[in-house]
Structure 1
Amino acid sequence: MTMQLQGTVWLTVDGENFGGTGRIALLAQIAACGSITRAAKAAGMSYKAAWDAIDAMNNLAGEPLVERLAGGKGGGGTRLTQRGAQLVANFATIEREHRRFVELLDSQAGGIADDYLLVRRMAMKTSARNQFFGRVTALKAGAVNDEVTLEVAGGHSIVAIVTHESTESLGLQPGAEAFALIKSSMVILVTDDEGAKFSARNRLRGTVARVQPGAVNAEVVLELSGGATLAAIVTNESSQALGLAVGQPVTAIFKASSVILGVPS
């Protein structure tokens, strides 16, 4: 994704909108054409819209920016007053300096596209407590369901089972960006898994960072390598039986069918 900073200049008078590039362009066309009709056409405005804009600018400026010329050999017309011509010239200077400022800011804003995508992901609302963003590293197609492997922060892999239809509609393929959602109630915690075998495909090891007991259940947050975290909801009884405490090594287990996959919009 290529992203650049852009901006436009807009003037106000005592909090009232005076105008921006469009209205100043109209004034410049009046200076060039000497006619409201031709200036409005050149600026892409109707005759009435042009006069409405001029009236508004005249009122806000406190003095005329545009004046009519009496008829005669030239047939009359419209021209800018000295104040109007000064405004057009000064706006061009302001706009030029503003463009230089934006270009300088853009040149120093490395990674803005990445930050923009991060902010969008952070704004995503979902009931799933665990959200991981990564890339598809493997796709194993089946007759009905597909197995999708996602590599997330810290080099961890998360395996999901989704329908073949979902794979196609989401555009899942190796290299594609995607996010995995896992509800904390779907996560099982194990304190001693040496030699144990489980049918669940996903197994993430970490250490207990927080234990928040509730009336019935406790929320346990694990810190994974690479800085990622994973939350699990277990009963208070299970928490006590496992002796869960901050700093304790724990393995989080969850089934591939419990993982929901999505892609950035």
Structure 2
Amino acid sequence: MSVPPLSSTPAASTDPDHASDEKPLGLAGSLWLRADGETLAGAARIALLAAIGETGSITAAAKAVGLSYKAAWEAVDAMNNLAGVALVVRSTGGKGGGGTTLTPRAERLIETYRGLEHEHRKFIERASAAIDDFAGDWAMIGRIGMKTSARNQLYGTVESITRGAVNDEVVLKLPGGQQIVAVVTHESVEGLGLAVGKPAFALVKASWIMLAVDDSKGATPLRISARNRLPGSVKHVTQGAVNSEVSLELDSATTAGTASPAVMTAIITNESVSALRLSEGTPAIAVFKASSVILGTTD
């Protein structure tokens, strides 16, 4: 018995921050019988066997299940070969001019399949009922399974889109309330189907992120041309021969909900780590240009 991947119907998130008008996602599956690693029969072939048993004619059975005569016999030959025993036999001559019949083994196979199919259907129904917010969970599974070379992968919701002469400015709100600004082309916005309220993710390479420390204590705000300036505190520093990997846990902009603080990783020189006196718990700011942000969707 094999269960294929879940239905690919687009998910409609139940998260109010990610509401959409997409169709709801449902759990589905199909049942196959296999022999020696090869598919012996699925619903279509079992239906063909049952039709042969009911009609006693390959021509009538093929018509009943929507197959050509040739395709039906090819399916029968494949099942006979894979089963290793005869499932369908064809007789010629005689008063009735011959016919096509099922062997007792085939009749038992049909009964077995129908019993398994009944149990499989009940399993799917129980599984669907047991999973709360299935659509939201399935969408999250898709996101966490994404693979990309960009170290920083941040999920959020499009908060605003500002049209420009050539490019558009897209503001993505993260679950913790932080905002990331991206500048992308009109074609990218349209091609990704970006719209306010739609889920999306931002990719930022670790080498594109600069770290800054504001020692002014608010007297002289940090002034820099980069649009994205996300404050946080150093989570850990991993030093290499030349460069260090610094992970920064971003400050949450909201206390509502249970969103985990976003973490951004930067690759900077060991000299910069020393000059900025970065260590675990040190307040710092992740700085990167809006043009360094790549946006994507899972649709």
Correspondence 1:182 to 2:208? no
Letter aligned with residue 93 of structure 1: G
- Residue 277 (structure 2) pairs with residue 252 (structure 1): no
* CA apart distance, 1:54: 2.9
Indicate if the aligned counterparts of 2:214 and 2:222 stay in contact, CA closer than 8 A.
no
Task: Describe the SS at the equivalent of 1:154.
Answer: coil
Distance (Å, rounded) in 2 between the aligned partners of 1:129 and 1:76: 70
Which residue is equivalent to 2:134? 112
Pairing partner for 1:223 from 236, 249, 254? 249
Alpha-carbon spacing, 1:61–1:189, altered in 2? closer, same or farther (3 Å): closer
Does residue 163 (structure 1) correspond to residue 185 (structure 2)? The answer is yes
- The one of 262, 267, 270 equivalent to 1:236 is 270
Number of aligned pairs? 265
Write the letter of the residue equivalent to 1:53.
A
Q: What stretches of structure 1 of length at least 5 have no aligned partner?
A: none
Q: Where does residue 122 of structure 1 map in the other structure?
A: 144
Match of 1:67 in 2: 89
- Opposite residue 269 of structure 2, the aligned amino acid is T
Q: Report how far residue 162 of structure 1 moved.
A: 2.4
Partner of 2:237: 211
Mean Cα displacement is larger for which, 79-88 or 215-224? 79-88
Question: Aligned in 2, Cα 1:138/1:38: closer, same or farther, shift over 3 Å?
Answer: same
SS of match in other structure, 1:127:
coil
Structure 2 residue 59 is matched with structure 1 residue 37: yes
* TM-score, structure 1 normalization: 0.87
The alpha-carbon deviation at position 60 of structure 1 amounts to 5.1
CA distance in 2, matches of 1:56, 1:163: 53
Deviation at 1:244, TM superposition (A): 0.7
From 146, 160, 172, the equivalent of 2:168 is: 146
> Contact 2:212/2:285 (CA < 8 Å) preserved in 1?
yes
2:156·2:199 contact (CA, 8 Å) conserved in 1? yes
Q: Distance in 1 between matches of 2:92 and 2:293?
A: 77
Q: Say if 1:189 and 1:251, in contact at 8 Å, map to a contact too.
A: yes
Contact 1:34 1:77 (C-alpha < 8 Å) held by counterparts: yes
Bigger radius of gyration, 1 or 2?
Answer: 1
Higher mean C-alpha deviation, range 69-78 or range 148-157: 69-78
Matching of residue 25 in structure 1 with residue 47 in structure 2: yes
- Answer yes or no: is the 8 Å Cα contact 1:143–1:164 preserved in 2: no
- C-alpha change, 1:253 and 1:88, in structure 2 (3 Å) is same
Q: CA deviation at 1:121?
A: 2.7
In structure 2, C-alpha distance between the alignment counterparts of 1:146 and 1:52, rounded to whole Å: 57
Root-mean-square deviation (CA), in Å? 2.4
Residue number in structure 1 paired with 2:298:
264
| Distance in structure 2 (CA, Å) of the matches to 1:14 and 1:201 | 60
TM-score where L is the length of structure 2? 0.78
Distance 1:56 1:256, change over 3 A: closer
Contact 1:130-1:231 within 8 A present in 2 as well: yes
How many Å separate the matches in 1 of 2:84 and 2:296?
56
**Deviation of the 1:91 alpha carbon:** 1.9
Q: Which amino acid aligns with 1:44?
A: G
Following the alignment from structure 2 to structure 1, what is the Cα–Cα distance between the partners of residues 116 and 148?
A: 45
For residues 111-137 of structure 1, give each alpha carbon's deviation from its aligned partner in whole angstroms, at most 9, with x where no partner exists: 333333333333434332212111111
